[in-house]
Structure 1
Amino acid sequence: MSKFRFHKLAAIVVLIGFAAWVASGEFSSVGSASNAEQPKAAEKAGDSQGAGAGDAAATAASRIVKVVTPPRSEHARAIRISGLTEADKRAVLATRVGGVIAELPVKQGDHVKTGDLILMLDAEEKISAVANAKQLLTQRQSELDAAERLAKSGNLAKLQLDNARSAQAAAVSLLDAAEAELARNEVKAPFDGIVDRVPVELGSAVMQGGEVATILNLDPIVARGEVSERDLRYLKTGDKAKVRLVDGRVAEGTVRYISRDASSATRTFRVEIAVPNADGSIPAGMTAEIALAAQPTEAVVLPRSVVTLGDKGDLGIRAVDGQNKVVFFPIDLVDDTPAGLVLGGIPADARIIVAGQALVTEGDTVKPVAADPDEIRKLAADAHLGAL
């Protein structure tokens, strides 16, 4: 009985204590303390961020870059393309009839003139036919001369004179036909050149249309290459060009032809450069680098290291405007020389950043300092060594 009373008394005490705690309202402060601290933390974070932004702005404003305003001059745009040499004229000679080779007066490497005999097929019957036609013509000519004398004296009728003239004309036609048939057994040089190949031998038989010789005209030698559609507008016939051969020789020539029909596969245009080659020292089929000199344009020379990429991926340079803010100018590459890049499309008064351009972006405010000439030369030398 006493034990029951103790448990009952303990439960009543606990119930009273719990009711008193609820009535005090202290349980509501469990999450309120952290909620109250959040604005203070956010305020501290905002203060921290504001301080960081201010530091970054101060850093950008105080960033020192080295600039230069390079001199401007006229530069001929250099367009370099790969190509090869080829003969100005090339002919593969073939026979018009079949037969046995009776004469072969040339060999590989011989120089020939237009009309020189290259090959003669056996033609005994045709030679006889020509001789008979000549004899007949001589006879018919004599008969005509006699008939004309008689006609002048009145001792020959006009009809007989006409018959003599007709017979003489027929003899002329017969001789022409015989000589033409004989000429079909001959192969002659169509132009001045060098005999490059003779795939037949004296006494061998050839069929009609068979190849018997190849003749090349190597003066001038032609350097042929393909120019891009972007560079086409800078070229015209008559422009000067330099051709560097694979063996190190350099020759000068003139643009003689620019195709107006692009290749469907590469979208490039064929260009031909005529190079004097009187001694024939430059062969056909040799690899060559063609440097085309287009019309001069105003440009500046700068180290390769100044070229960078803009926000849109364009190739260009960074410069400083009148308010010491960084601006970007796309460039036009005119030439690449050991002294540096020849660049067009840059305003005349631009202060170009030559050191520190990779650490700033468009719109940044910087502190420009004039670059030392020795430093610019060193940048150009370092860029040249890096390119090598």
Structure 2
Amino acid sequence: MPRIRFHKLAAVVVLVGFAAWMLTGEFSSVGSVAANKAKAAEVEQGKTPDASKPKTGEAESKAPLRTVAVVMPPRKTYARAIRISGLTEADKRAVLATRVGGVIEKLPVKQGDHVKTGDLVLMLAAEEKISMVNNAKQLVAQRQAELDASERLAKTGNLPKLQLDTARSNLTLAQSQLDTAQAELDRNEVKAPFDGVIDRVPVELGSSVMQGGEVATILKLDPVIARGEISERDLRYVKIGDEADVRMVNDQTVKGTVRYISRDASSATRTFRVEIAIPNPDGTIPAGMTAEIALSALPTDAILLPRSVVTLGDKGDLGIRAVDKDNKVVFFPIDLVDDTPTGLVLGGIPAEARIIVAGQELVKEGEMVKAVDADQATIKKLLGEATAGTQ
């Protein structure tokens, strides 16, 4: 009989022992027995597990309320300011060109000259056309004399009516020829279409130009126009005739009037073109200068607050946090009326609202807080001394 090795015998013994332990069922109550013994000991001592620990709600109710500083800023009537970027441009701009080709014979203007409507800007050489006009004038004079003689003869009965009609027809034909010759001569002249200033003259006296060639640029700078784009949200606050302040890039500030508001929004930016007419009798404001346009809308009731008070609500809206009569945090979306160097002018905030100016970022809507009035130092720091003085 072969001998059983020791390690095999040990494995058999362990297997048999483990099977016997499982059959007793004690493994399922190892943790239970310990728990039951601990529970029995607590019952004997008159305590329960729940009694030894405070409830979660009770723990929270005993936590101290967060302290926030609040103010009730004075309310004033502010005119809504709408600021847009733009540039200046001429009220009218025309590029003058020749209607026929030829050599420049007269050029009485130069860059920077002021001209009136109908002033001669350029004339091409036209000797043959001048001669045609003179001949046509002589013919008209001859036909007029013939008609006068025919009318005298007709009154005495010495001229048939048919010959009188022929004389009248000859005069009409001669006048038509004169008008045609004069029109041909006028095509050699370029005249100012409106009052303005000559901005550019790209030709010289004696040079040759082709038909349709550019000979001068004329601008009308009184009034000068400040043009900008207004958002669709602010469009309802602006109307034609409103006054506007226009600040140039050189810090020159002038006043103007809204003369045009587009009714067709840009498809790319969803903004509307606005034109401000600015009196410019001496022409000191040039076209093409960068400008900031400030439009004043209807006055509204608002308050002045520092930028640091403005925060985001739970839904991502821009607004301020305040406390109600029960010291519960509430959130008010704001309506930005103006942005001034001393703070933001905000509308849409109830009159009784106590606005949180310190600790607003550490609380949330619906939370109970301990609201205390902000001290004078905080008010001056946040709202500025002028606003604090009205408290």
Match of 1:14 in 2: none
Shift of 1:155: 2.3
Match of 1:47 in 2: 53
Higher helix share: 1
Match of 2:143 in 1: 140
Shift of 1:30: 3.6
CA offsets per residue over residues 135-165 of structure 1, 9 Å max, x none? 1111111111122222222222211111111
Match of 2:104 in 1: 101
1:372/1:23 Cα in 2 relative to 1: closer, same or farther (>3 Å)?
A: closer
Identity %: 73
Counterpart amino acid of 2:67?
I
1:142/1:323 Cα in 2 relative to 1: closer, same or farther (>3 Å)?
A: same
Shift of 1:23: 12
Counterpart amino acid of 2:120?
L
Shift of 1:367: 2.0
Counterpart amino acid of 1:260?
R
Shift of 1:355: 1.6
- What's the TM-score once normalised by structure 2's chain length? 0.86
- For 2:226 and 2:172, locate their aligned partners in 1 and report how far apart those are by CA, in whole Å: 52
- For 1:377 and 1:339, locate their aligned partners in 2 and report how far apart those are by CA, in whole Å: 11
- What's the TM-score once normalised by structure 1's chain length? 0.86
CA offsets per residue over residues 322-367 of structure 1, 9 Å max, x none? 2111111100000011231110111121111112211211111122
Shift of 1:43: 4.7
Aligned partner of 1:325 among 323, 328, 335: 328
1:305/1:46 Cα in 2 relative to 1: closer, same or farther (>3 Å)?
A: farther
Shift of 1:212: 0.7
Counterpart amino acid of 1:68?
V
1:304/1:164 Cα in 2 relative to 1: closer, same or farther (>3 Å)?
A: same
- Counterpart check, 1:192 vs 2:188: no
- Counterpart check, 1:32 vs 2:32: yes
Contact 1:303 1:376 in 2 (8 A): no
Match of 2:209 in 1: 206
- For 1:317 and 1:217, locate their aligned partners in 2 and report how far apart those are by CA, in whole Å: 49
Counterpart amino acid of 1:326?
V
- For 2:217 and 2:52, locate their aligned partners in 1 and report how far apart those are by CA, in whole Å: 88
- Counterpart check, 1:316 vs 2:288: no
1:339/1:34 Cα in 2 relative to 1: closer, same or farther (>3 Å)?
A: farther
CA offsets per residue over residues 16-39 of structure 1, 9 Å max, x none? x99xx9999987764335545998
- For 1:356 and 1:316, locate their aligned partners in 2 and report how far apart those are by CA, in whole Å: 15
Shift of 1:59: 4.0
SS of match in other structure, 1:162: helix
Q: Superposition pairs for residues 170-249 of structure 1, below 5 Å?
A: 170-249=173-252
Contact 2:79 2:337 in 1 (8 A): yes
Which runs of 5 or more structure 1 residues have no equivalent in the other structure? 1-16, 383-388
Contact 1:304 1:380 in 2 (8 A): no
Contact 2:327 2:370 in 1 (8 A): yes
Shift of 1:283: 0.6
- Counterpart check, 1:338 vs 2:344: no
Counterpart amino acid of 1:74?
T
1:219/1:22 Cα in 2 relative to 1: closer, same or farther (>3 Å)?
A: closer
Shift of 1:64: 2.1
1:58/1:163 Cα in 2 relative to 1: closer, same or farther (>3 Å)?
A: farther
Counterpart amino acid of 2:253?
V
1:136/1:22 Cα in 2 relative to 1: closer, same or farther (>3 Å)?
A: closer
RMSD: 2.8
SS of match in other structure, 1:47: coil
Contact 2:226 2:275 in 1 (8 A): yes
Match of 2:309 in 1: 306
Counterpart amino acid of 1:188?
K
- For 2:141 and 2:51, locate their aligned partners in 1 and report how far apart those are by CA, in whole Å: 124
1:198/1:34 Cα in 2 relative to 1: closer, same or farther (>3 Å)?
A: farther
